[in-house]
A and B are shown apart, each in its own frame.
Chain A
Amino acid sequence: MTSQSESLANWSSEFSVNEIEIFKQDSKTIFLETDEKNHLDSQYCERSGQMIRCVVSKRLGSFSYNKGSDINSDEKAIRCARSLASFSPVLPHWKGFPGSSKTRKIEGICDDEFARVDLDYVRRLLDEVRLMLSSFARKYAIKLGVGTNQIHLTNSSGLSWEEVFTHARVNYTVFDPDTNETIIADMICATNKRDFEFQLKLREENNLIHASQKRFHPDNFTGELIIPPSIGTAFILSPLIQSLTMNERDRPYLKIPEFMTAVDDGSIDCLSGSSTLDMEGVPHKRNEIISHGDIGPSLKNLETCSVENTDPTGNANRSYSFRPIACPTNLFIQGSHKKSSNLIAETRRGVYLDQIDLVSQPMSDMVTSRNAFLIEHGNIRGKVPKVTVQIDRFDLSKLCELGGETRPINLSGDILPSQTLIAPTVKFDDLYIRM
Chain B
Amino acid sequence: MDLLDFLGRITSEKDTKMDFVESKLFEASTSNVSISQDSTNVESTVSKGIFIRVLHNSFEGFASTENLSEMGVLRALEFATKMVEAGYVFSPQKLESSVAKGAHACNAVNNEMPSDIDHVAKVRELRREYNNVCGHFSEGENIKMYFSQVNQNQYYSNSLGKQYHISQTLIGTYYDVTRNSLRLFEGRNRVVSGEMSSESFSENVGSFLARRFRELSISTSSPSGQMSVITSPEVSGTLAHELGHIFEADSGKVEYLRNHLDRQICSPEISLIDEGNNSNFGGYCPVDDEGVDCKKALLIDSGYLSDFLTNRCTAEQFGLPCTGNARTDCHLRKPVVRMRQTYFEGGSDCLEDMISECQSGILVEKAAGGQNGPDGRLVLRCMLGRTIESGKLGKPVQNFNLSGNPLELLSAIQGLTKNKVLFNDKCGKDQIITIAHGGPFVKLRAEVQG
Which of A5-13, A58-66, A132-140, A265-273 contacts its partner? A58-66
Chain A: which residue is nearest B181 at the CB level? A253
**How many chain-A residues does the 8 Å CB contact rule pick out?**
45
Contact A45 B64 (CB under 8 A): yes
Which of B65-73, B132-140, B206-214 contacts its partner? B65-73
Contact A88 B40 (CB under 8 A): yes
Chain A residues lying within 8 Å of B62, measured Cβ to Cβ, are 42-44
Q: Is B286 in the interface zone, CB < 8 Å from A?
A: no
Q: Considering the chains assembled together, what is the distance between the CA atoms of A323 and B34 in angstroms?
A: 14
Chain B: which residue is nearest A29 at the CB level? B332
B300-343 contacts to A, CB under 8 A, are: 332-334
Q: A357-B373, A361-B381 are in contact. Are A63 and B45 (CB under 8 A)?
A: yes
Chain A residues lying within 8 Å of B27, measured Cβ to Cβ, are 69
Q: Is B42 in the interface zone, CB < 8 Å from A?
A: yes
Give min CB distance, B428 to chain A, whole Å.
Answer: 9
Q: Is B80 in the interface zone, CB < 8 Å from A?
A: yes
Contact A67 B68 (CB under 8 A): yes
Chain B: which residue is nearest A83 at the CB level? B119
Q: Which of A44, A84, A88 contacts B76 (CB 8 A)?
A: A44
Contact B67 A45 (CB under 8 A): no
Q: A42-B83, A46-B66, A46-B67 are in contact. Are A66 and B47 (CB under 8 A)?
A: yes
Chain B residues lying within 8 Å of A43, measured Cβ to Cβ, are 62-64, 333-334
Q: Is B98 in the interface zone, CB < 8 Å from A?
A: no
Q: Which of B40, B45, B50, B369 contacts A68 (CB 8 A)?
A: B50
Contact B88 A89 (CB under 8 A): no
Give min CB distance, B433 to chain A, whole Å.
Answer: 16
Chain A residues lying within 8 Å of B128, measured Cβ to Cβ, are none
Chain A residues lying within 8 Å of B43, measured Cβ to Cβ, are 62-63, 84, 323
Q: Is B75 in the interface zone, CB < 8 Å from A?
A: yes
Q: A66-B66, A68-B50, A84-B43 are in contact. Are A46 and B82 (CB under 8 A)?
A: no
Chain A: which residue is nearest B33 at the CB level? A87
Q: Considering the chains assembled together, what is the distance between the CA atoms of A363 and B65 in angstroms?
A: 33
Q: Is B149 in the interface zone, CB < 8 Å from A?
A: no
B351-390 contacts to A, CB under 8 A, are: 368-369, 371-375, 379, 381
Contact B66 A119 (CB under 8 A): no
Q: Which of A45, A46, A366 contacts B75 (CB 8 A)?
A: A46
Q: Is B46 in the interface zone, CB < 8 Å from A?
A: yes
Q: Which of B86, B181, B374 contacts A357 (CB 8 A)?
A: B374
Contact A44 B80 (CB under 8 A): yes
Q: Is A368 in the interface zone, CB < 8 Å from B?
A: yes
Q: Is A131 in the interface zone, CB < 8 Å from B?
A: no
B18-69 contacts to A, CB under 8 A, are: 27, 33, 38-50, 60-69
Contact B379 A366 (CB under 8 A): yes
Q: Is B227 in the interface zone, CB < 8 Å from A?
A: no
Q: Which of B39, B61, B67, B381 contacts A42 (CB 8 A)?
A: B61
Q: Is B173 in the interface zone, CB < 8 Å from A?
A: no
Choose among A48, A67, A89 the residue with the greatest number of B CB atoms under 10 Å from its CB. A67
Contact B80 A70 (CB under 8 A): no
Q: Considering the chains assembled together, what is the distance between the CA atoms of A71 and B116 in angstroms?
A: 12
Q: Is A39 in the interface zone, CB < 8 Å from B?
A: yes
A92-109 contacts to B, CB under 8 A, are: none
Contact B64 A46 (CB under 8 A): yes
Q: Considering the chains assembled together, what is the distance between the CA atoms of A89 and B33 in angstroms?
A: 12
Give min CB distance, A340 to chain B, whole Å.
Answer: 26
Q: Is A321 in the interface zone, CB < 8 Å from B?
A: yes
Q: Is B421 in the interface zone, CB < 8 Å from A?
A: no
Give min CB distance, A417 to chain B, whole Å.
Answer: 16
Chain A: which residue is nearest B368 at the CB level? A363
Give min CB distance, B63 to chain A, whole Å.
Answer: 4
Besides A68-B68, A119-B82, A363-B381, 13 other CB < 8 A contacts?
A42-B88, A42-B89, A44-B64, A44-B79, A47-B49, A66-B49, A68-B48, A80-B44, A84-B43, A252-B181, A359-B371, A361-B369, A361-B381
List 27 interface pairs A-B (beta carbons < 8 Å), by A numbering: A39-B90, A42-B61, A43-B334, A44-B79, A45-B63, A47-B49, A47-B332, A48-B66, A48-B67, A49-B66, A65-B47, A66-B48, A66-B49, A67-B72, A68-B47, A68-B48, A69-B46, A88-B41, A88-B42, A119-B88, A252-B181, A253-B181, A321-B45, A323-B43, A359-B371, A360-B371, A386-B375
